[in-house]
Each structure stands twice: as C-alpha cells, then as structure tokens.
Structure 1
C-alpha cells in the first residue's frame, strides 16, 4: 500500500491528479488508507480519472494484487451531472453509488438528518439477551456489564454525541440486567442507578452511565484536539471549524457541522477548553 501512496503522490506532483480540499483554506487530500481499504479524492474530470486508473493499474501489475470491483464504488458531488458520471465511471471501471455507506457500522457521510445509531441499542440488547441473568450472581452481572455491554458503543462514543434516547436506553437495558428484570418478569431495583454508577470508594459499583461515558470520551477527544496540533485530523478540524471566516460570520453556531464537531463542542462545557467556531 505504501507503493500505491508513492504512485499517487507522483501523479499529484506532476499535476495529473488534482486533490480536493477538506474546506476553504483547508488541507488538500488525494487519498486516505487504513489497512487494505483506500479512499481516493480527486476532481471529477477526465484527466483525473485517467490518472487514478493508471495509478491503480500500475500498482496491480507490479505487486500482483487486484482490486475488488464488487466492493469498489465511486461517489460524486451532487453538482456532477448524470452523463458525466456515466462517462467517468466508464474510465474508472467502477459503478457509481449515491451513498458512501458505513465504515465499522458508522455512516461515512452524514446528511442533515441525525446519524442513525439505533443499531447500538439493538446490539446491547442482543448481547444481554444471550445471558441468563437468573443463573448469575449480582457480582457476575456487574462484571459482564463492565466488560461487554458497556464497551459496545465505545467506538461510536469516541467521535459523536449519542442522542439521549439511545443513552437512556443503554442504561435501562444494563439496569434491568443487573437486577434480573426482563420483559416478562419485573424485579425490584433496590438501589437507584445514580448510586450504582458511583465509584466504589463512595459506595457505588463502579459502573459507568452511558451519558457519562460518552461525555468522558468526547472530553478526551477535545483534549487531544488541543494537544495533537500536528496530527492530520486535528489540522482538518481546526481549518474547517476554527477559521477566521467562520468565526467572523454573523451566527457561527447556526452553520452546518459534523457530528464529531458537535460532540467536541459539547465536551468543551465539561472540560473548560473553549474553541472558536
């Protein structure tokens, strides 16, 4: 994959490949790689698509690797007309798709609607449904909540503020499992959840509430944004949401933003780290 990166950089240096900007005045992107997944960025025209196809063909011929056309898709800007899309797809050899889909169950591109995270609550329910709470001691149930169900939404919580409905649902499922309640049999909850989620040294069980865990992870992300100044993701976020043009707009808070930035802004209230934008 490193060799493919060199091929792409060579095309860009020769002005054959025009990368795209993350925002006005932001960084240019030509590709992003993670493991064996590659996302390519370029201006939607004939020249760029020929350069992309040439780089991919060169990489495959010299390494012996092949591209999975069934798993590869092209995503165009809404400004690109239908005829142009068909012509460019013919050059690239990949089909067009209006939806980027999901990566690790998280939607890659968010529209104006809230991010669909209902799958998190469903996964927690399915996980706990496979265990028979009546056969476990309260201590055993506590360990399972800490080690399993509480960690399922962690990945999403690190980059987005989940809706209160989802957070409350996760707490409800964990709470019912702790006390042995189910849809058919209701058990008494002898201690309120606010006390259960307190640290052990003050009388709680050390469990974390879903909202507390979400805020803690976003606060950590906010801290990383302030300390990892040279990291690529921090530079992209700051260039997009902390630019002078955005700050000087009439109402910066009303401008559209990503779920990640919304989460960081929410975490600022708790961390005391204020950012403009």
Structure 2
C-alpha cells in the first residue's frame, strides 16, 4: 500500500471531532457546507467559539482559510482529549498538566490516609493508568518521567510529597519485578515499550485506520528508521530491537 492509496479524513471520539483536509478556501467552504447540512438534519450545532484551527506554516492563504471556516484565531497547538497536539515538537512545558494531575492524585487527603500496601496499590493502578493514557498519545520526556518517579517514590516510602527524608531505595529498583527484588510496579519505560509492542501487533493483526496509515507511510517497523521519520515511529522501531 502506498501513501496515495490511503487518506485520513477525520477522527472522532464522542463529541470531540478532528477533521483533516486540504488547505485551500474552496475545500474549507465545502467542509462548512457539509457541517451546516449535518446541523440542519441532526439539530446538533457547531460551536465555533470552542473550535480550533491548525494551519501549516507553508500554507500561502491562511486568512482565506480562517474566513471560510469562520475560525479567526489559528493556533500552532491544540488540546484534544486532554493531550497536546502541535505542528512542531511538543515542549516539556506541555506536560505540566500531567505532572499537576499526578501531584493532585498523590497529595489528596484520601491518599494520605493509606497504609504502605494501600499506597502501593494506589500507584500500581490509579497513577499508572493516568500516565498510561498519556503514553498512548505522546512520548513523555525523560525529565518528566524522572519527576513522576520522584513523586511516586516519596509518596510510597514516606506518605507525603514534601518529605525531606533520605530515600534509600531507588525508584528504578522499586519498579523491578518481584523476582528481581522489586515491588512489581510498572515503570514508565516498561509501559512505553508495551504500548509500542501493541502498536506492532495491531499493524499485522487488527486492521484499523492507524495501522493502515503506519504501514502505508513506513512499510515495516523492522526496517531501520529514516532520519526524517517521526520520534513516535523511531520509538516503535527501537522496540523491535528489544
């Protein structure tokens, strides 16, 4: 399959819709006509105040596109389902909401009342599931992973994020399996590796728009990645070497 054989028009989750299209005013006018027709038949109205527009910097007529779509404040970055989406590289500061969420979960009054075993289970499931959601959508920088590990370590061993007591066991060793002396907590690196493996499995066993696009764009995860490939695909290819 070649890239010309596959096109992605939209992604939708509940009432959150992403639409992809050719960046010219005629195509955008047709899109708005289609959306208005859908609104007339369904009674569901498009809220332009809550809509966002991302335009490539290489587009020659951004003002015409904004006029056709009636969205007059294009942005290089949007948030979709809580995850930042950008035309360029995601910045470390874009992961602040993740750190704030983890900090809020670990510092809540209910979490502070847990025993050591309770805190262990809380990290294994509540915190891990929170971070796993971001891992499925982006590559978390090493500095953010280190910060999350530090927060979880303080919470697990001392029961408080503001503790100044020395930590005698590294978080790396804590996350090892029981057979290697750890507590069986899934490390962020392990979660990332598992997600990459699931993507490879889906490419060959569960046909979907994502798997079709990846195979059309990159052909095989066992081929060495090219210099201009995305960081996401390079990570997939690195997982096949593991």
Larger Rg: 1
CA contact (8 A) 1:138 1:179 kept: yes
- Of the structure 1 ranges 86-95 and 135-144, higher mean CA displacement relative to structure 2 is found in 86-95
- Quick one: distance in 1 between partners of 2:24 and 2:6? 20
Q: 2:62 aligned to 85, 93, 97, which one?
A: 85
TM-score normalised according to structure 1 size: 0.72
- RMSD value over aligned CA atoms? 3.0
Aligned position for 1:44: 23
CA contact (8 A) 1:161 1:215 kept: no
Gaps of 5+ in 1: 1-22, 271-277
Matched, 1:254 2:227: yes
Cα distance, 1:194 vs structure 2: 4.5
Cα distance, 1:111 vs structure 2: 0.8
Cα distance, 1:164 vs structure 2: 2.0
Q: 1:161 aligned to 133, 139, 147, which one?
A: 139
SS at match of 1:32: strand
Matched, 1:68 2:47: yes
The within-5 A match list for 1:169-180 is 169-180=147-158
CA contact (8 A) 2:8 2:20 kept: yes
Kindly provide the CA deviation profile for residues 51-89 of structure 1, in whole angstroms up to 9, marking residues without a partner as x: 2222122111122221101012333332333xx333343
Assess, with a 3 A threshold, how the Cα gap between structure 1 residues 119 and 196 changes in structure 2: closer, same or farther.
same
Cα distance, 1:97 vs structure 2: 0.6
Kindly provide the CA deviation profile for residues 87-106 of structure 1, in whole angstroms up to 9, marking residues without a partner as x: 34333333241324111232
- Quick one: distance in 2 between partners of 1:154 and 1:235? 23
User: How many matched pairs?
Assistant: 238
- Quick one: distance in 2 between partners of 1:179 and 1:212? 21
Matched, 1:205 2:183: yes
- Quick one: distance in 1 between partners of 2:27 and 2:104? 46
- Quick one: distance in 2 between partners of 1:131 and 1:237? 44
Cα distance, 1:108 vs structure 2: 1.9
CA contact (8 A) 1:75 1:98 kept: yes
Aligned position for 2:209: 232
SS at match of 1:67: coil
The within-5 A match list for 1:139-158 is 139-158=117-136
CA contact (8 A) 1:161 1:218 kept: no
Cα distance, 1:201 vs structure 2: 5.6
- Quick one: distance in 2 between partners of 1:234 and 1:53? 29
The within-5 A match list for 1:106-121 is 106-112=83-89, 114=91, 116-121=94-99
CA contact (8 A) 1:44 1:76 kept: yes
- Quick one: distance in 2 between partners of 1:204 and 1:252? 34
